[in-house]
Amino acid sequence: MIEIISGIFLLAGSSFILISAIGLLKMPDLYTRMSATTKASTLGIGLVLIGTAIYWVDLGIAARAIAIIIFLLLTAPVAAHIIGRAAYFDKVPLWEKTHIDELKGKYDEDSHELS
Amino acid sequence: MTFLLALIIGLLYGAGTYLILRRSLVKVLFGLIFLGHAANLLIFTIGRLTKGAPPFIPEGTETLVEPYADPLPQALILTAIVIGFGVQAFAIVLFKRTYQTVGTDDLDKMKSTDELK
Amino acid sequence: MMFSVILSTASRYLLPLLLIFSFFLLLRGHNEPGGGFVGGLVAAAAYALYFIANGIDEAEKLLKAEPVKLIAVGLLLAVISAVPSLLAGKNFMSGIWLDTNFPVIGKLGSPLIFDVGVYFLVLGIALKIIFSLAEEDK
Amino acid sequence: MNQLLLNILLATSWVLLVGELKAETFIEGIIIGYLILWISRSALGGTKYFRKIPVTIMFVFYFIKELVIANLKVAFDIVTPKDYMKPGIIAFPLDVKTDMEITLFANLLTLTPGTLSLDVSTDKKVLYVHALYVKDADSFRKDLKEGIEKRLLEVLR
Amino acid sequence: MNPLVIFPIILPLVFAVIMLLFWKKVPVHRYVNLAGSFISLVVSIIILEAVISDGIISLQIGGWEAPFGISIVADLLSTVMVVITAVIGFATALYSLGTMDEEREKYLYYPLLQLLLMGINGAFLTGDIFNLYVWFEVMLISSFVLLALGGRRGQLEGAIKYVTLNLLSSAIFLAAVGILYGIAGTLNMADLARKIPFLEQKELLTVVSILFMVAFGVKAAIFPLFFWLPASYHTPPVAVSAIFAGLLTKVGVYALIRFFTTIFIHDTAFTHNLLLISAALTMLTGVLGAAAQNDFRKILSFHIISQIGYMILGLALYSPLAIAGAIFYVIHHIIVKTNLFFVSGVVKKLKGSYSLKDVGGVYKYYPLLGLLFLIPALSLAGIPPLSGFWAKFVVIKAGLEIQEYFVVGIALLVGLLTLFSMTKIWNEVFWKDDPKGNENHLDESYRLISNYKKFMMITPIIFLALITIVIGLYAEPFFTFANNAANQLIDSSNYINSVLGMK
Amino acid sequence: MLNLIIIGFLASAVAPFIYKPLKKYFGWIAASFPLYLFLSFLSRYREVADGKIIKEYIEWIPALGINFTFLLDGLSLTFVLIITLIGVVVFLYAGAYMQDYEHTDRFYVYIGIFMTSMVGLVVSDNMITMFVFWELTSISSYLLIGFNHHKEKSRKLALQALLVTGGGGLALMAGLILLSQISGSLEISALYDLNETIRNAPTYTAIVILVLIGAFTKSAQFPFHFWLPNAMEAPTPVSAYLHSATMVKAGIYLIARMNHSLGGTELWQDTILFAGTLTMLFAAILSFNQLDLKKLLAYSTLSVLGTLTMLLGIGSNLAIKAFFIYLVAHSLYKGTLFLVAGTLDHETGTRDVSKLGGLKKLMPVTMITAALASFSMMGIIPLVGFIGKETVYESILELDYWGLYLIAIAVLANALIVMITILVGFKPFWGARSSTPKEPHEAPIKMLFGPAILAILGLLMGIFPNTFIGKLLDQSSLSILSEELGLKIKLWHGFNLVLLLSIVTLLLGIVFYFIRTKLLHITQNIKLIRIFKPSEWYEFAINGMMYIAKLQTKILQNGYLRNYIIFILVTAIGIASFSLYNVRSELTISPDFSLTFYEGAIALIIILSTFMVITSDSRLKSIVALGVVGFTMGVIFIIHSAPDLALTTFAIETLTVILFVLVLYKLPKFLKFSKTSAKIRDIIIASSVGIFMTLMVLYITSIDLVSEFKKYYTDTSVPGGKGRNVVNVILVDFRAIDTLGEITVLAIAALGVYALLKLKLDDRDE
Amino acid sequence: MSFIEVSTNISVVIIGLSILFIFIRLVIGPTIEDRIVALDLLAANAIAFIAVYAIQSGTTTFLDVGVILALLAFLGTVAFAFYLERRTKR
Ligand code: NA
Ligand code: NA
């Protein structure tokens, strides 16, 4: 029974991972790619880990799995944020269909101060 | 996977060699890093490969029963990796300083110490 | 440093988590993956993150000890770990063990002192390198 | 007070890491946790934190739900042609104040439907968000205010 | 089991640590370094006595039986190397007090010096090939730092070549270690010496022995692997040049001797002939390289190479007498070469240059310095009755006995050319009048040097010169020692037994 | 005798300390020490004369068979007495002559060392001990020739002398070692009555050649003669002492010494005979176009040295007798004349014979001394030189076949010597007084005393030959021929062919003197003479060597790092592959080709990223790719049961990234440097390295490894190491010392980074 | 073959595929930021792979590696971002 559940988690998780990978390939610009992947991969990996935790009925393993998940939840968005803003400084182009950009011109080129 | 690893080792050595023969300091640096990887993988592979049986002795038992991975090569590589890192770190900074002082990345412009005066 | 309130806040809360994890790695290394080296590197990573997020001055303020001292202490501990063996008249660096059993750590013995030495040394060198480079930057 | 809480939290996480529910382990955790807090005390300013435990738990569940939905939505868009998207970067005026709050909010936002927190203005009053689906900026801002920020504030205030 | 044998490795570390704990206090460094190197000297001599009286001493680190634990082995060869290292360490400690600039001292020159010695001693004393790799790295990295310390352009350019080529050789060394373990299944030298003759798969041994030969050959600066040496040795402060010149290459030579008398003697027809060819070319290219130079330290650097050739020749001839000659040569050369660099440093302080063209007239006003140059210089050129003559004599005698007349011919010719460059230095630096005119022109910085520093500068030179004379006039014990050491190497059984005895 | 030698060296060392205060009397003080040696050896005269061979043995390096074995027989005693006696004269003379020189104290050190070494050389019975003194004489000679070292010429010629004699010395050493391998001992006395064995030894030819090279270079025999005239750069006392009376006779001494063991073959005798004769003749001819007093004397010395060698070559009893008398005679008169030349130089300020004349009134004593020596040199009765020449002719005439030619040559040579004598010994004093740089007057007593003594000795020996040298002659010939000579020395041989020849020689010489100026033109135009100028061969050799040296350095040490790398790699891979190729037949490849999907993926990723690094033109891109390679390595480690390795790899990769990131934006963009040809060459090298390594891995993994280590560690880890992570136990316990070294490396690296970044000395003050 | 085995095998393949896809992005870029994001994702996927591989090979020790990997991947990304900042900031 446990094995079934964990198996399902694994499959679900890995599919999310696959989706995020596809997203990374398919999305038009860096920003959209990031919005797509940060979530999907985080969730996917989370599910896989839960699957693993369930498989070994062991507090230690579960703890490790949870540790990783929490850590991912803490860091993934931060990573996305700093890459995103760095990309913006770096003038990484937005997809042409991006119709609003309220950030345009708000940055001070030199000091990177944001008004 | 031994065969594949043998090929990869060859590749890494080749790449490392090719890179240290470049004129650009930075590439030479990359070359050295590659040689490091190559050497580690070499020892690892030559120490014979074992899958999914790390040399950890489970609670309640005194030793392991075959098959399990040979811990010695692992320990050796660990030491080698760390030493490699130390040397690498110094090399990186040395190369940076050299670039700043000499003002170029081109090794062919660094022959002063061998000139006949 | 990077003017990102998000990153710097995150780093402040990650720091203790990473440090505890590094201790964990150090202490259990004798029985599970980990050990002084990786432990030290994780600790260093924590400080490195803090430095990137909050700048070198903040980081140096946070780390009260001068890295060189950490290096010295690390090496010192490594050497000291050999002293018991000499006192006991055994071969140099022979392990001397207390007959107690702690969770995680397992037995206490001179090799553990050695590993702790490694931990401090690695922390020290990683930080010395990173900080020197960072100061070079300013 | 908070320090103690945090200390206990650390101790617990230690027990979790170790993975054995023993007294010694917890004591070890307390000791090490205290050490850590001492080491990193200048990193953590005092914060009001972990009041209203129940609200928090509620929020966590709400959030996980959101997360799953978000992903399904995005997944759908990834596998189907991409022309639905109307991406844009929106300036979102913040009601959350402290660094902690801002960070939490920004990160949660990143983890929820098609949004990605790009940056916070230096004066910490505006959050710039990249979103995949914005018909018009104001309604977008409104949704966020009603939705996640409101609930978060419930937890925090 | 004598616990003392580990001390030459540990003591320098301890001294370094003490200095690091007081890392801002240069005076502490100076005195800890001086006292430390003296203590090391005493300890190493005690060990030597012990080894001479009760034979090879081997210590199992951690009490783990050989070959599983790491063995520290002090036989005659390794011990004498340790002693000489200590001698040079002490001399350099003094000389540094006289010549090293405050900045470099501030930036941890002395701790690095001690750690260098630690690495060198480790390399000499270990009985485990991977551990040898580790000590080589300790030695290398500290030499990297000492070489680049100060960051002048020349230093950096030299360091780039030195570092790259030495890392290359380390990579080869490491691979060789791995391969040898993959073949023989052990890392312990004694165990290797014991196992290899009975190995079923001998084919690959020769191949791996070549890799070791190249790896050590680079460190020993033999032909055609020596290029890093002349490119770098003249760039750091002279105290550093001196200790490098004396010790570093000898570690490579030591390793070659150790490996090709103890481990790889399954195919001497091939391996040792390679060494023979290399030796001849090393002597020749080295000495010719020197002839082309006009810089005091560069000439000396190239002579390191040509002299290494003689040592390798001794090894390649592979007879007890020949190896004794090689060992005698190593002992003599370390002392002499270090001293010559010391002298070059004093000349630099006096005249402000290393270039033969820019200096002169030293003998006229400093006859003592002239004498102190002549002693090592003529010794290097093999003029009797100085140490170098006996070294050459023994190697050549051995060569003639084995009827390798051609190589002996080269050795003799190179001896003459060595005399040529030594007299070149003598003519230019000491005999010829100062190009600035025939009065005594001193570099202005020289006037700023305190008498204390001058004293510290000259003392080690006299000290080493005396050793050279003693070895020359009283060669009997030294030769007998070298002879015993050689026999110990040729017949490995003692070595094997003392290491694996406890099994 | 060792004590005397030690005293000698000590005394020399003391000189500089006592010179300054005792400057005035130093000549006398200095002379007292050779005198002491002279007397102490003279005291042994009786014993030796009575045929006793005095031996002394003190251990030095017994392990090598090298000891202080001294042997005083007729031959060595003769030499010792000459050396010390002339030493007395020269030391005294120099006291006055060298007064105006700088560093006269150093002069006395050198010459003291020289004399002592010379004594050591001739009394040593151990070949290597002798060689030690041999080399010491070369060195002291070097220092003395270069005594006026502010002059480039002096430095150059001193070096020339050193290299020629030094080179010969090395040959000699080889020869002596080979010789000792036959007798199994380094003692010369051990060679007695081994003549037969030695002659039949396979190395005999080599030995003869090597030993003779040593002897000829030292005694300036053709073609090594050129350094001797050049050595006249030295102060005159040196020329008188080293380069005429003593050192240059060392080679001849050696030949005489070795004669009984090496001699008796055509190779030996003819080589010596030939070289001697050539030297005798050409030296005489070359002396023609000389005007310098010392040069003239130098060439005459050469000629005499040739004669002496020739006599040894003849090797008959009579020849040996002639050799011996001529040796003694020459030392006496030539020493004298050199000193006279010195005196003239010192007083008049020139050595140019054409500028000298009519000094007899101003310098009567010098004149008489010169005259006496000159008569001896010309071979005029009743001086010892006469006996010398007579016996020389006599011994030549004995020869059946060669005799005629040789006698002709000998007469010619001696005639020229007569001419030289007239130029040096008489012309300056007689005839018209010509103006000189300095206003001459009689030399001080110190400078008159010595030469006079020697000259008078020449006379006495001529009149009472047997009382002086008869006994020594017998004993010496014993050592040279190992048989009694049984010939008495007579001053007067009666009217015979020999006497006729002497007269002819004399007249011919006088004729030469007068037609000299005419002959000068002829000789200068003889191209032949230019060809016989080995001094130019020497120049050629030196320049050639320098050329090769520079060329080699340009080729090898060319400053291009990659060329150095290529040298190393090609050597390594070349030789290694060669030895691998030799054993290919015994080797097999049987690795497991099994492969899973993810392993394929991993391989693919590594390969692609590697190429990314190589081809990328952006640094950051390369860093990222490098990171991927590293992380993939980690994954490989995980798959193959090495979690600790994986941990470490990941950690280090990340740290490396951080390092790069902190350093990188300071580093330059990649530029396209290398040419395609270079790239191709590098690719070939790189791929051969790669292929070699791959092969090694495949071969080795196909052998089954037998290692007790694996089992030992896992069995001992828990009970002994108290740990369950075996790798960690190895690191902190089984092989803790490795880890100690490892962390030391890290520490040094960190300190290095710190020092390198902080300490930036500028190039100006270096 | 039990369900769990099937599912682990499938997951491994899927994760492997995703890794390849992500790697393609890393290779083609176009911007350096794309590569960095890809690298970050690669690490994350490696964690998933490790987790599944742990089940496959029946050894738990690998999971610890996952924890470290998560941390280090984040640190690496931050470092790269830091670099980009330094590069664009004056
Ligand atoms: Na132990
Ligand atoms: Na042997």
Residue F58 φ then ψ, to 5°: -130, 130
Residues β-bridged to residue D130 = D89, D116
3-state secondary structure of D127: strand
Residue F668 reports pLDDT greater than 70: no
F658 touches chain G (CB under 8 A): yes
Q: Above 50 in pLDDT, residue D46?
A: no
Which amino acid belongs to residue E446?
A: Y
Cα(E198) to centroid of ligand 2, in Å? Answer: 15
Is the pLDDT at E201 greater than 90, yes or no?
no
For chain D, the distance separating the N- and C-terminal CA atoms, rounded to the nearest angstrom, is 18
Q: B89 contacts in C (CB within 8 Å)?
A: 129
Residues of chain A with pLDDT below 50 are: none
Ligand with smallest separation from the Cα of E495: 2
Please give the average per-residue pLDDT across F189-200, as a whole number: 89
Looking at every residue in chain E, the average pLDDT score rounds to 95
pLDDT, averaged across chain D? 77
Q: How far away, in angstroms, is F631 Cα from ligand 2 center? A: 44
Give the side-chain half-sphere CA count within 13 A for F301.
36
Closest Cα in chain E, distance from residue B68 (Å): 17
Chains C/G: 3 or more C-beta pairs closer than 8 A? yes
Candidates F659, F660, F661: best to mutate against G (most CBs of G within 10 A) is F661
Give the DSSP H or E segment for B6. helix B2-20
What is the 3 state secondary structure string of A53-69? HHHCCCHHHHHHHHHHH
From the CA of F733, how many Å to the nearest CA of chain G?
21
- Nearest Cα to Cα of residue B77 among E184, F740, E174: E174
What are chain D's partners, defined as 3 or more CB pairs within 8 angstroms? A, C
Confidence of residue F765 (pLDDT cuts 50, 70, 90): low
Chains with 3+ CB–CB pairs under 8 A to A are C, D, G
- Judged by CB atoms closer than 8 Å, whether chains meet at B101 and E230 is answered as no
* pLDDT for position D13: 77
- Distance, in Å, from the CA atom of E331 to the CA atom of E83, rounded to the nearest integer, reads 10
**In chain C, which among 83-112 make CB contacts under 8 A with chain E?**
85-86, 90-95
Instruction: Give the strand pairing for D126-131 and E57-60.
Output: unpaired
When mean pLDDT is compared over E105-109, F222-226, F662-666, the highest value belongs to: E105-109
Q: Do G67 and A67 touch (CB under 8 A)?
A: yes
| Contacts across the B-C interface (CB distance below 8 Å) | 9
Does residue F494 sit in helix, strand or coil?
A: coil
Give B-chain residues touching E293 at CB under 8 angstroms: 116
Ligand nearest to the CA of E70: 1
Q: Which of E440, E422, E434 is nearest to E383 (CA)?
A: E422
Name the residue among F591, F644, F748 with its Cβ closest to that of B3: F591
Q: Residues 48..87 of G with a Cβ closer than 8 Å to A: which? A: 48, 51-52, 54-55, 60, 63-64, 66-67, 70-71, 74, 77-78, 80-81, 84-85, 87
Question: What pLDDT score was predicted for residue D23?
Answer: 63
F644, F721, F743: residue with CB nearest C75:
F743
Ranked by mean pLDDT, which of C29-38, E29-38, F261-270, F513-522 comes out on top?
E29-38
On whether the CB atoms of residues E348 and E238 are closer than 8 A, the answer is yes
Q: Would you call E165 and F139 a contact, using CB atoms and an 8 Å cutoff?
A: no
CA distance F740 to C75: 8
Q: Do E61 and C79 touch (CB under 8 A)?
A: no
Cα(E56) to centroid(ligand 2), Å = 15
What share of chain D has pLDDT > 70, as a percent? 81
Query: Which chain C residues are closer than 8 Å to D20 by Cβ?
Result: 103
For residue G4, give how far its alpha carbon lies from the nearest alpha carbon of chain A (Å): 5
Q: What is the pLDDT of residue D149?
A: 82
Find the angle CA(C73)-CA(C75)-CA(C78) to the nearest 5 degrees: 110
Structure tokens at D104: 């939490």
Does the distance separating the beta carbons of C7 and A85 come in below 8 Å? no
Q: Give the number of other Cβ atoms within 10 Å of residue F241's Cβ.
A: 29
pLDDT confidence of residue D45: 55
Residue of F nearest to C77 (CA): F740
Q: Do G86 and F665 touch (CB under 8 A)?
A: yes
Mean pLDDT of F543-555: 93
Residue F309 has pLDDT above 90, yes or no: yes
Please tell me the distance in Å from G60's CA to the nearest CA on chain F.
10
* pLDDT of F766 over the 90 cut: no
Task: Assess whether pLDDT exceeds 90 at residue B36.
Answer: yes
List the single residue in F102, F159, F736 with the smallest CB-CB distance to E62: F736
Closest CA to F172 of F128, F123, F116, F126: F128
**Chain C residues with CB-CB distance to A85 below 8 A:** 4
B and F: number of Cβ contacts within 8 A: 293
C-chain residues within 8 Å CB-CB of A114? Answer: 3
B82 inside 8 A of chain C by CB = yes
Contacts of C92 in chain E (CB under 8 A): 3, 6, 10, 59, 61-62, 72
Q: Using CA atoms, how far apart are residues G74 and G79, in angstroms rounded to an integer?
A: 9
Q: Point out the least confidently predicted range of C89-93, E282-286, E334-338, E353-357.
A: C89-93
D19 Cβ under 8 Å from any chain A Cβ: yes
pLDDT of residue E218: 96
pLDDT band at residue E338 using 50, 70 and 90 as cut-offs: very high
* pLDDT over threshold 60, residue D119: yes
- Report the separation in Å between the CA atom of E319 and the middle of ligand 2, taken as the mean of its atom positions: 11
Average pLDDT over residues D59-86: 79
* pLDDT higher than 50, residue E503: no
The amino acid that residue E416 corresponds to is: L
What share of chain E in percent tops pLDDT 90?
A: 94
Sheet holding D88-93, edge to edge: A100-101, D88-93, D126-131, D115-120
The pLDDT of residue D1 is above 50: no
Report the pLDDT value the prediction gives residue D48, as an integer from 0 to 100. Answer: 45
Q: Give me the total of CB pairs closer than 8 Å, taking one residue from chain C and one from chain D.
A: 71
* Phi-psi label, residue F757: left if phi above 0, alpha if psi -120 to 50, beta otherwise: alpha
Q: Considering only CB atoms, which chain D residues are within 8 Å of A60?
A: 18-20
**CA–centroid distance, residue E495 to ligand 2 (Å):** 9
Contacts of B75 in chain F (CB under 8 A): 727, 730-731, 734-735, 738
ipTM over 0.90: yes
Judged by CB atoms closer than 8 Å, whether chains meet at E63 and C86 is answered as no
Q: What is the pLDDT of residues C67-95, one digit of tens each?
A: 999 999 999 999 999 988 888 888 888 88
* Res. E440: pLDDT tops 90: no
d(CA E58, ligand 2 centre) in Å: 17
CA of F737 to the centre of ligand 1 (A): 10
Q: What percent of chain F has pLDDT over 70?
A: 96
Residue E476: per-residue pLDDT: 96
Is it the case that residue F399 has pLDDT exceeding 90? no
Judged by CB atoms closer than 8 Å, whether chains meet at E6 and C92 is answered as yes
Mean pLDDT computed over every residue of chain F:
90
CB hemisphere CA count around F607 (13 angstroms): 13
d(Cα F106, Cα F14) in Å, to the nearest integer? Answer: 10
- What is the model's pLDDT at position E102? 92
Asked whether residue B3 carries a pLDDT value surpassing 70, the answer given is yes
Closest approach of A58 to chain C, Cα-based (Å): 16
Residue in E137, E157, E181 closest to B112 by CB? E157
pLDDT at D50 over 60: no
| Token reading at A89 | 């400084």
Do the chains contact at E171 and B35, CB–CB below 8 Å?
yes
In this complex, the residue of G3, G60, G78 whose CB is nearest that of residue A79 is: G78
Among B87, B102, B114, select the one facing E153 at the smallest CB separation: B102
Q: Which of F644, F654, F720 sits opposite C45 (nearest CB)?
A: F654
